[in-house]
Structure 1
Amino acid sequence: MKKQLISSFLFFALLAGNALAQTTGPDKGAIVIVGGGAISPDIWNRFIELAGGPANARIVVIPTAGEDSSLTVSGQRTRKRLTDLGVAKVTVLHTRDPKQANQDAFVAPLRQATAVWFEGG
């Protein structure tokens, strides 16, 4: 009996884990970690390439890690940098309100994004 209970538990735990894995995102991706100074054009270009290239990239910029006084400036500066490099679809997304962050309309750009750039911190 104890063996059956353990087997059943493991079966359902694996089943639940498998279902979760199917809904968490793509099989593979890339991460570009940048910090400590100026960002070279090579890094920006590689980020855009990983996002699908200038014509196909849908990039979301999240400046929320920065200080409140610099959020608008830093987010818009990054948007301009990306559009100057040819990216047509750049969205700046910011809130500190959990209710707004959980709204479908707020999350929609993230669901469509091919890359996310976290600004500040």
Structure 2
Amino acid sequence: MLYQPSVPGTPRAARIPFASPWQTVFCDRVTVLKQAQVAVTRRERGFTLEASVPLAALGWDPLKTPTVRGDVGRVLSDQTGTDSSDRVYWSNQDTRMVSDLPSEARLQPNLWGTLVVER
């Protein structure tokens, strides 16, 4: 999934709400990244997750901007895939909240790392 919190020209009524009884966070666009490929290999003690996402699908041209701030992570769920049980990210370690949708959807750029494309 690609969550785009700010897309110029998005009408207020078209924004996607992530709501709980005490707060709402909006995202201008949420789309399935059909080009993304994910493979999970189960291991005796855990698993290996390998993901491939075309940078152009993220709007990132590394020839023009080889370095950006960002983060990557995964959300684990219960056996039904309904409830989040854990969130683990590469850079942002403030991911304890898994029971409040707006808190999970809120971006925290101050906790992102630097992503670099090297040739």
TM-score by length of 2: 0.32
TM-score by length of 1: 0.31
State the structure with more CA Rg.
1
- Structure whose residues are more often helix by fraction: 1
- Structure whose residues are more often strand by fraction: 2
